[in-house]
Amino acid sequence: MTITRRRALLAGAALSVSLIATACGSPGDGGQGAAPAQSTSATDQEAALNAGGTITVWAWEPTLKQVVTGFQAKYPKVKVNLVNAGTGDDQYTALQNAIKAGSGVPDVAQIEYYALPQFALSKSVTDLTPFGADKLEGTFTPGPWNSVRSGTGIYGLPMDSGPMALFYNKDVFDKHDIKVPETWEEYIEAARKLHKADPKAYITSDTGDAGFTTSMIWQAGGKPYQVDGTKVAIDFADEGTRKFTAAWQQLISEKLLAPINGWSDEWYKGLGDGTIATLVIGAWMPANFESGVKAASGKWRVAPMPQWESGGKATSENGGSSLAVPEASANKALAYAFMKYAGVDEGVQTRLDAGAFPATTAHLNAAEFKDKKFPYFGDQQVNQVLAEAAAQVVPGWSYLPYQVYANSVFNDSVGKAYISSTTLDDGLKAWQDASVKYGQEQGFSVQ
Amino acid sequence: MTATTRGPLVIRHRRPSPRRRRSVTLTVLTSIMLIYTLLPLAWLAINASKTQEGLLNSFGLWFDDDFALFSNIATAFSYDGGIFTRWLLNTLLYVVAGAGGATLLATIGGYGLAKFDFPGKTAVFAVVIGAVAVPGTALAVPTFLMFSSLGLTNTPWAVIIPSLVSPFGLYLMWTFAVDAVPREILESARMDGAREFQIFFRISLPLLAPGIVTVLLFTVVATWNNYFLPLIMLKDPGWYPLTLGLSAWNAQATTAGGEAIFNLVITGSLLTIVPLIVAFLLLQRYWQSGLAAGSVKE
Amino acid sequence: MVATVPRARRSWAGWRFVGPFMAVFALVFLAPIAYSIYLSLFRTQLIGGTAFVGADNYLKALADPLFWSAFGNVAVFLVVQVPIMLFLALLVALAIDSGRLYGASFFRIAVFLPYAVPAVVATLMWAFMYGTRFGLVANLSDLLGVRLPDPLSADLILASLGNVVTWEFVGYNMLILYSALRVVNPSLYEAAEIDGASQFRIIVAIKLPALRGALLIATIFSIIGSFQLFNEPAILKNLAPNAITSSFTPNYYAYTLSFAGQQYNYSATVAIVMGVITMIIAYAVQLRGMRKEV
């Protein structure tokens, strides 16, 4: 990274920028050079591009660093300027602001699947069909592939995927003689048994999370969002949704869910000390376990997601990101080439080696990938489970073209179910109303 | 002290300051306040000495067996190619230019408001209070768009220029200057034919020292902890101030494949506060000596 | 304050001092506000583009229950938290200034320190302090043998928020008051002591009047601060995602509208309405303060 930036600085740093670098007594060795490529005028950008063939990539995904190194080694004339412009929402805000301002827009941006429709609808990101993205059908598993398509366009290339699975703490299960649940009914039973045996232990933690809730509804066969261009229908009372709420309401009402916010330090602590016994979460989780929950090394295992019907094989996607090319990019061909390298070609293996979970069928089915033993998971070949899950994602799901907003107000309404006597069904209804209202205000035709 | 005013101007006289008795009761009572303010900071200091694992597995208000403060500090400075040092230097740049400039503008402006009558003076109050009263978050996007069209986003200027304005500092200096600079001194200096800026720098500035120190302290802290505007304005971590950097480290724990480094976030935070404490200690002697300037001149 | 400089010459000379500040101020504050006012007259939709809507956004804001409930939260905050904080700040400032404390300079820095803590850290710290499971509240519960209420529950969240704000800013306000006390001429105290006045009498007769100006600005800026409450709820939302809604305070509401909803026009409207309300109240306080001063 540092090398790239230094070269960019040489290539054409704006005068003011280098002056400041000198003025503050810093040797000007680091990121300053990145500034001109992003935020100065379009002509500066072009000059920089002609000079060195530089593209700017906004992404927070950690393994991309190695991908960039590999990419530049393979194509020495191209410079990739990898910028962590914030995680998730922060980056979307930055991207929207840059698009609105018409300058400083990156050539490639990481965008999570749930957020992509919003950028696709406003045509802020490029339809990749002319670049040959349509020929990649079959390269990716269905879940992520469907997530990057909108109408007839393809607005991103899948970078990773998050088919859901059940991560459980085997030590805790063994200690209390609990069987690994195969259905949600068994899961609830396990929750009761565990909490009764140890009042400090919970089957899982949940304080209301939009991504998790929608993924659960997705697995249950619910299709609350129907989107056709600018026509949107929202219904959180369909059968699939009801299946989920009926089950989850029991866990909430009986106080069987640890009131710990996901991704907090307390959450990591709970995962480590047995307070949180399971996680139903995307297949990208192993890397986070390995780095964040070292205390429980060897204790966790992975099993298929619990089913709504005994013997069923249904999962859904949870999280995961694509790479997309903003419409304002001045070097789309180069941008696309990088994305393809990172998401389809050699870059995938680089990322897998660093612990990422792929969206490409070829890599998912490779023996090397599937047979890999994870010491953290007691030498379990967890990818066997996870790769199978990737093939079992329930089809037909879509997110709202304004899901980022909808998710931001999720806890205003559905959150009430976790802290008051409001039911999950009522909470979802209120969320639906808020989403409908917003959609109408934004000019969608909403039912 | 540089205040070399002449005899007739002296309006106050030095007297031997009686040693007042110190009170144990008052000290104990005030200490309650001290516990309140310091307890969370004690948590910070204690937990900066823990490893990522120890952080999660030991009691919060006591040390872990493994005292990792120094290895944490070393890791904080070396993590991700030593970017923490860069953030520290960036922050210093923003503070020196931003807080220094803000204090200067506020001092001159506040003095002008306190000691001059000029057309539009009442409007200044209304305009400044009115503008400050508009919630800042809603102004972020318009400000971003403006700065973007000026080509300032993602450069240090985008952080420094907004930091130059401290409405609070202006008001503080205004009220302060009303009392701190006696009118008689100014009148007399004017009668001697001194120009206004001469009077300001030679006579008024030393008298304003305690106020300046206070304003400087506030602007330093505000710039040091500036978060929201840099968040909007800067994209390149190479230009981040410490707060944004720490926030990015913290966010690492919330992303797929990211490494949880709460220990570095906490240690980094402690390291962030230490320079402020040092600055405070260096500045505080000005309250003592600076004040004397307001009252004792002979 | 104009009244306090009756004999200053009315000329443009003052502008040479105030001008530099106002120039930067115009760029950083006034221009974005002007732009926001312009924005507030339009409506931009994801579908359908931008249209001039006149005062529609303002009418909508005035009838928006989310806005008014947010306003209600900060109004309660203003009435309860600000007086408590300023009172505490006053007590500490008087104590430190009295010269009767052991280690006064240590108190001065220690009470001020919380103001220096960055937001990210404050989150981690208060997560620990407020934790009912592993945190300080949990330890206190165990120690006392009672189940203490959860500070992050919907019932207590405003109080917990008030506590964080008080913690952060009590030292800040203390310093304003303290620096004002330092300007008081010590000979006044000595004269009073010679006359046999008690410490309490000195406080009431000399110190409090001397603090009037500083208290006034501390109050005005605390009012503005509470009406613009944003950082602390945004921080605590990580800990209490359900008790703190995305429209918990007017500023938070404007933020959600602008950043999550891309409703820049309406967000600007909410901000301006809030700004006008704040300005009126701040101005009223200022007028009151000035009247007392005369």
Q: ipTM, 2 decimals?
A: 0.85
Backbone dihedral angles phi then psi of residue A169, each to the nearest 5 degrees:
-90, 105
- Token pair, residue B10, equals 């002296």
**C-alpha distances in Å from residue A433, one per residue of A414, A426, C66:** 11, 11, 14
Nearest to C115 by CA among C162, C175, C180, C160: C175
Domains of chain A in start order, with CATH, are 2-161+321-370 (3.40.190.10), 164-318+384-446 (3.40.190.10)
Determine contact: A122 vs chain B, CB below 8 A.
no
Region C218-243: mean pLDDT is 88
Chain A residue whose CA is closest to B248: A86
**Per-residue pLDDT, A30:** 32
What percent of chain C shows pLDDT beyond 70?
Answer: 95
Chains touching C (at least 3 CB pairs under 8 A) are: A, B
Sheet containing A157-158: order of strands: A79-83, A54-58, A108-112, A321-324, A157-158
Determine contact: A354 vs chain B, CB below 8 A.
yes
Instruction: Choose the weakest-confidence range: A17-26, A385-394, C238-247, C248-257.
Output: A17-26
| Distance in Å from the first CA to the final CA of chain A | 48
Report pLDDT digits (tens) over B3-24.
Answer: 333 333 333 433 444 456 788 8
Residue-by-residue pLDDT tens, chain A, 447 positions: 222 322 232 232 232 222 233 333 333 333 333 333 333 333 433 443 455 588 999 999 999 999 999 988 888 888 899 999 988 888 998 999 899 888 899 999 999 999 999 999 888 999 999 888 888 988 999 889 999 998 889 999 999 999 999 999 999 999 999 999 999 999 999 999 999 999 999 999 999 999 999 999 999 999 999 999 889 999 999 999 999 999 999 999 999 999 999 988 889 989 999 999 999 999 999 999 998 898 899 999 999 999 999 999 999 999 999 999 999 998 888 898 889 889 998 899 999 998 899 999 999 999 999 999 999 999 999 999 999 999 999 999 999 999 999 999 999 999 999 999 999 999 999 999 999 999 999 999 998
Contact C133, C127 (CB under 8 A): no
Chain C environment of B148 (Cβ under 8 Å): none
**Per-residue pLDDT, B20:** 62
Residue that the structure tokens 């704000």 belong to: C165
pLDDT band at C271 (very low <50, low <70, confident <90, very high): very high
**Per-residue pLDDT, C292:** 55
Contact B255, A86 (CB under 8 A): no
pLDDT: is B287 or C54 the higher one? C54
Helices in A131-205 by DSSP H: which ranges? Answer: 142-148, 170-175, 184-197
Q: Which of A90, A273, A288 sits opposite B57 (nearest CB)?
A: A273
Determine contact: A295 vs chain B, CB below 8 A.
yes
Other C-beta atoms closer than 10 Å to the C-beta of B288 total: 11
Q: Which of residues 45-84 of C touch B (CB under 8 A)?
A: none
Most distant CA pair in chain A, distance? 69
Q: What angle do CA B285, B291, B296 make, to 5 degrees?
A: 130
Look at B165 and C105 and tell me if their CB atoms are within 8 Å: no
Is domain B7-13+73-295 annotated with CATH 1.10.3720.10? Answer: yes
Question: What pTM was computed for the model?
Answer: 0.86
At a CB cut-off of 8 Å and minimum separation 6, what does C289 contact?
A: C212, C216, C219
Chain A environment of B153 (Cβ under 8 Å): 39, 101, 103-104
CA dihedral B89, B90, B94, B95 (to 10 degrees): -30
d(CA B135, CA A30): 35
Look at C187 and B247 and tell me if their CB atoms are within 8 Å: no
Q: What is the DSSP letter of C114?
A: G
- Helix, strand, or coil (residue C42): strand
Determine contact: A416 vs chain C, CB below 8 A.
yes
**Per-residue pLDDT, B296:** 33
Look at A408 and C261 and tell me if their CB atoms are within 8 Å: yes
d(CA B235, CA B224): 18
Is domain C56-293 annotated with CATH 1.10.3720.10? Answer: yes
What percent of chain C shows pLDDT beyond 90?
Answer: 44
What ranges do the domains of chain B cover?
7-13+73-295
Region B238-260: mean pLDDT is 86
d(CA C64, CA C269): 12
Among left, alpha and beta (phi > 0; psi -120 to 50; other), residue C102 is beta
d(CA C185, CA C4): 19
**Per-residue pLDDT, A43:** 43
Instruction: Look at strands A149-150 and A153-154 and give their pairing.
Output: antiparallel
β-sheet bridge partners, residue A228:
A231
Q: What angle do CA A211, C157, A279 make, to 5 degrees?
A: 30
pLDDT at C34 over 50: yes
Instruction: Look at strands A108-112 and A54-58 and give their pairing.
Output: parallel
Contact B5, B185 (CB under 8 A): yes
What ranges do the domains of chain C cover?
14-54, 56-293
pLDDT at C231 over 60: yes
pLDDT at B213 over 90: no
d(CA B189, CA C6): 18
d(CA B263, CA B260): 8
d(CA A131, CA A129): 5
- Helix, strand, or coil (residue A348): helix
Region B52-76: mean pLDDT is 84
| Distance in Å from the first CA to the final CA of chain B | 11
pLDDT band at C126 (very low <50, low <70, confident <90, very high): confident
Nearest to A56 by CA among A104, A115, A119: A104
pLDDT at B256 over 50: yes
pLDDT band at C10 (very low <50, low <70, confident <90, very high): low
Interface B-C, measured as beta-carbon pairs within 8 A, has a size of: 353
Determine contact: B187 vs chain A, CB below 8 A.
no
- Helix, strand, or coil (residue C73): helix
Determine contact: C242 vs chain A, CB below 8 A.
yes
Mean pLDDT score of chain C, rounded to an integer?
A: 87
Report pLDDT digits (tens) over A161-216.
Answer: 999 999 999 999 999 999 999 999 999 999 999 999 999 999 999 999 999 999 99
d(CA B264, CA A262): 20
Other C-beta atoms closer than 10 Å to the C-beta of C161 total: 26
Helices in C131-197 by DSSP H: which ranges? Answer: 136-144, 157-181, 186-194
Contact A157, A325 (CB under 8 A): no
pLDDT at B56 over 80: no
Nearest to C14 by CA among A436, B116, A399: B116
Q: What is the DSSP letter of A150?
A: E
Chain C residue whose CA is closest to A438: C261
Chain C environment of B273 (Cβ under 8 Å): 113, 116-118
Report pLDDT digits (tens) over B157-210.
Answer: 999 999 999 998 998 898 888 878 888 888 888 888 888 888 898 888 888 888
Contact A205, A232 (CB under 8 A): no
Look at B129 and C103 and tell me if their CB atoms are within 8 Å: no
A222-240 CB burial, b ≥16 within 10 A, e <16: bbbbebeebebebebeeeb
**Per-residue pLDDT, C291:** 64
**Per-residue pLDDT, C9:** 53
Q: What angle do CA B22, B26, B30 make, to 5 degrees?
A: 125
Most distant CA pair in chain B, distance? 74
Region C95-107: mean pLDDT is 87
d(CA A162, CA A288): 13
H helices, E strands: number in chain B: 15, 0
Backbone dihedral angles phi then psi of residue C43, each to the nearest 5 degrees:
-135, 125
The Cα of A414 is separated from the nearest Cα of chain C by a number of Å equal to 8
Amino acid of residue C291: R
**C-alpha distances in Å from residue C92, one per residue of B286, C111, C115, C174, C184:** 20, 9, 15, 7, 17
**Per-residue pLDDT, A6:** 28
Report pLDDT digits (tens) over C158-210.
Answer: 999 999 999 999 998 998 898 888 877 778 888 888 888 888 888 888 888 88
Backbone dihedral angles phi then psi of residue A179, each to the nearest 5 degrees:
-85, 145
d(CA C239, CA C249): 17
